[in-house]
Each structure stands twice: as C-alpha cells, then as structure tokens.
Amino acid sequence: MSTPVLQAVDLHRRYGDTEVLKGVDFSVARGEVKALLGPSGSGKSTILRLMALLEHPDGGEILLNGKQVGVSTSSNGSTRRLPERHLAVQRRDIGMVFQRFNLFAHLDVLRNVTLALTEVAGMSKKDAVSSAEAMLERVGMSDRLQHYPSELSGGQQQRVAIARALVTNPSVMLFDEPTSALDPELVGEVLEVMEGLADAGMTMVVVTHETRFARRVADEVMLFDGGVMVEQAPPNQFFDDPRHDRTRQFLSHLRGVGN
Amino acid sequence: MDFEWDMFTAALTSSAFVHGAMLSVGLAVCAMVLASIVGFGVALLRIASNRVATAVGGAYVWFFRAIPTLLVLLLIWNAGPQLLPALRDDWFTPFLAALIGFSVVEAAYMAEILRSALLSVDDGQHLAARALGLAPHKVLFKVVLPQAIKVAIPPSGNELIAMLKYTSLASVISLRELLTTAQSQVSVTFRYAEYYSAALVYYLVIVSALMAVQQVVERRYRWISAGRVGQVSGLKVGTAVPV
C-alpha cells in the first residue's frame, strides 16, 4: 500500500480537564474520500483542526505524505512544536473549508481567492488572477468576481471558500461541516461542488451530517464518539450493517430527524 | 449691539489666524499619525501571549492615561532641556515638544481603541488566513488589521477632533496655535467677542472638514461592490444582502 497522504497516529487532545481526543488513529490515501460522522462534542472537528495544523495535539503524531509535521525533532529524539511561521509553510499543502465559510470580509471574491497565491505562493498578480478565475469558474462563481462576501448567499460564500482553499493545489482538502450553517435549499450546490472534486480524484476528509452525501461519495465512513473512533467501514456496510450498537443508535437518531 | 464686524472679518482673514489654524491642524494630524503607529505597537503588546509584553503594554497605557497632558508638555518642554543638554539647541521647538507630548499621551488612548478593534475581528478570519499558510505578519497586516481599521475609524475620528482642541494646551509651552492667537489679539485690543468668534468659526470649519474626511474614509471601508454603492444604506453594511 502506498504512503497515506495524511495520517494521524494516536492523537490526544484536551481542553482543560476535558479529554476531547483519547488516542485516534486515522489515515487517508491519495484520491480517497473519508467521511467523519459523530454527535457534537465527539471530537471530529478537533481532529480536523489538528490535521490542518491549526492546533497542536497533546500527544500523537501527524504525518503529511509520510513526513511528520507540526513539530521539530531534536537529535535526542524529543519533539517540540514548530513556531507559527514554520507551521505556516507546512499548512500550504493542506486545504481547509470551515463551517462558517470565513471568507475575508474586506476582500471581494476574486481577491479572496488570489490572496494565498500572491502572499503565500509568490505568484505574480496576473497569474494569480487567471488561476483564481479558472478555479471560481469550476465552482460556478465566475459571475460574482467583484462581489464582497456580505453580498453573497451562504452557499455562494462556501463555494468561494472551496475555491480559495483549492487554488493553491493542496494534497488534501479538509471540510469541517461545510453545509451545517447553510439554509437547506443551499446545501445541494455545495455538495455538488464537493462531489465534483471527489470525482476529479481529490483526497478529501469531510466532517459532515449529510449521510446521503457520505454514502454516495465517501470511500469510507467513520463514527466518532467520546473522543475515540467507534467504527470505520465502507459506506454500504456502515449504513446498512454496522458492527457496533453505538453506530446503529447514532444512525437511527439521524433517521429520526428526517435524514 | 457692540460687535465690530470689520474687526471680526479682519481677524478671520488675518495671517496670524491662518497660521495659528494651520499649526493646530498640523499638530493634531501629525500627533494622531504618530499616536496611531505607537498605539498599534502598544495594542499588539497588550494582546500578546507573552506576559512581559502584556505588562509593558499595560504599564504604558496606565502611565499616560494617569498623568495630565499639560504636565507631560511641561515636563518635555521645561524639564527636558534641564536634564538633556541636547534639547537646549534651537531645533527643539515648541511644535516638536508639543508633537512628542501629544503623541505619547494619545498613543495610550489609541492603543485601547486599536486593541478593541483587533479583538473585534472574528476568530474565523485568523483561522482561515492561517489555514491558507499565511505567515503570522501577513495574517495580521493582510487580513486582521484592515478589518480592525474599519472598527477603529469612528472612535479615532473622535480622538482627532478632541486632539485638535487640546492643541490649545500647547500655549503653555509658547506654541502660537489657533486659540493662543485669538487670546493674544484680545489682550492687545480688549475686544473679546470679535476675536473669540473668529476662533470659533475656524474650529467649526476645521472640524467640519475633518468629519467630511472621515465620511470619505468610512465609505472606502464599506466593502460593497462598485455597482451597489448607493443602493445599500450605510446601516446595512455587514449584513447579508440578497443577490
């Protein structure tokens, strides 16, 4: 088996006295789509933030394309958290999409997408604009280049946010409940873009409550609860014949609310 | 009514008043620029995670908010040359002394305005910028600061207008700004109403101009696409607009 694009080994994370992650192992291979399900507070969003190097784990390792990231290892084998400016360099290879879009409010659509190209990748303004325009075309937002985030619907903002994360060509895209903050009628347009990405072979980790999307698009579905991974299985098995009672219970809850 | 209009209009158009007004505006604007820069540094210290940095920033704000501006001016102008011989030379003018004094005091107030403005920027903006791989200084200058400035403009406008009027304090260090000019004419002619009224008109005109500038700057920070300016009222800025 080839090296996973992104791998987490025995991740631990605590906030004060609360242990949010109690040793999580996880990996995603090139071109693979993994869906993470779980009740709120189960630690699934925390895993994503740790893997995006936005937070530091209290224990465990994160490997990106086989190489440990987020820490520097000294000659005696002890590790220290990298300073923020070095973490910034490693984050370039990871794309992240947030629940609340987090588009830059002071920049129009085009400049939201070109910012990382000119400020991180060192691209010329002209090249950045043409890359950004191509990416915005792909998410169906090329008719809104000069609009500011406050002038867009949630679905449009999230599509721009996907283009922004994608434009630097990361090895893996992480989605943190990308449709949870959207009005129901806007969910479809975002999922459609994500499905297109998956079809194009993008490596993706998606924290979601959209079980139909998970079943259709994911290669594997995982259930997190109480800081541990309860079950990991291909979608058909996960949804139709789960091994664990906790999974069955969680799925019946979801069906109970109309999913 | 004993109001000599000729004297009033002569005062309005006199070079002494124009000069005094220019000194007041120049001092207030320059001090505000310096205070914003120093205040930004102090605000960064205050929100830093390093304890020593927060303590230093806190001490600055505490010290310069605690002592009267008048005392700071007297210290710089009178005590300064006594302690530092270099300040006895001609280059150390009342304007320069006043500029330093107003800047260091105002920086303490600007630090608080900028600190609250920086803290008002949504956490998601930092997060998104960091996730894109922006280096820490670019997260600050390309994403957080531009949004903080929008929040800081109205209170900073207040400060600038207040500063314009505070420049009259510099009369104690013999700076002939607007109000001192009026006062010195009064002491020669004993015509109070005419010269004070002339000064009043100058203040009204200057503050009106500053407010107009503020409005232009605020408009630049509305973040609405060109085609929509004028369609969306100022009150709606920041809220979602149906497309």
Predicted pLDDT at B42:
98
- The alpha carbon of A30 is separated from its chain's Cα centroid by a whole number of angstroms, namely 15
Where chain A has pLDDT below 70, the residues are 1, 256-259
How distant, in Å, are the alpha carbons of A33, A93, A205, A255 from that of A259? 21, 34, 21, 5
CATH fold label, B5-214: MetI-like fold (1.10.3720)
Mean pLDDT in residue range B85-104: 91
- The whole-angstrom distance between B225's CA and the closest CA on chain A is 5
- Please indicate whether, in this complex, the C-beta atoms of A54 and B228 are within 8 angstroms of each other: no
pLDDT tier at B238, thresholds 50, 70, 90: very low
Contacts of A70 (CB under 8 A, 6+ apart): A53, A56, A57, A62, A81, A82, A87, A90
Predicted pLDDT at B228:
61
Burial of residue B177 (number of CB atoms within 10 Å: 0-12, 13-18, 19+): buried
pLDDT tier at B233, thresholds 50, 70, 90: very low
pLDDT per residue as tens digits for the range B46-64 = 999 999 999 999 999 999 9
β-strand pairing of A172-176 with A204-207 = parallel
A118 → chain B, closest CA residue = B134
pLDDT per residue as tens digits for the range B170-221 = 888 888 888 888 888 888 888 888 888 888 999 999 999 999 999 999 999 9
pLDDT per residue as tens digits for the range B114-169 = 999 999 999 999 999 999 999 999 999 999 999 999 999 999 999 999 999 989 88
B6 pLDDT higher than 50: yes
B14 pLDDT higher than 70: yes
pLDDT per residue as tens digits for the range A135-165 = 999 999 999 999 999 999 999 999 999 999 9
Q: Which of A151, A156, A175 is best to mutate for the B interface (most B CBs within 10 A)?
A: A151
Taking only residues 109 to 138 of chain B, the set having a beta carbon closer than 8 angstroms to any beta carbon of chain A reads 122, 124-125, 127-136, 138
How distant, in Å, are the alpha carbons of A146, A196, B92, B204 from that of B14? 50, 74, 27, 17
* pTM of the predicted structure, to 2 decimals: 0.88
Predicted pLDDT at A96:
96
Query: A204: which 2 tokens?
Result: 């993706």
Predicted pLDDT at A224:
92
Q: Which of B131, B138, B143 sits opposite A54 (nearest CB)?
A: B131
Predicted pLDDT at A100:
94
Q: List the domain boundaries for chain B.
A: 5-214
Secondary structure class of A94 (helix, strand, coil):
strand
Which range, of A1-15, B10-24, B229-243, averages the lowest pLDDT? Answer: B229-243
Angle at which helix B192-220 crosses helix B178-189, to 10 degrees, equals 170
pLDDT per residue as tens digits for the range B72-88 = 999 999 998 899 888 88
Assembly ipTM: 0.92
Predicted pLDDT at B242:
45
Taking only residues 155 to 174 of chain B, the set having a beta carbon closer than 8 angstroms to any beta carbon of chain A reads none
Predicted pLDDT at B239:
45
CA dist B140 and A50 (Å) reads 22
Q: Which of B118, B130, B132 is best to mutate for the A interface (most A CBs within 10 A)?
A: B132
Query: A134: which 2 tokens?
Result: 């191509």
Buried b (16+ CB within 10 A) or exposed e, A39-66: eeebbbbbbbbbbbbbeebeebebbbee
Predicted pLDDT at B232:
47
Place of tokens 């929040």: B151
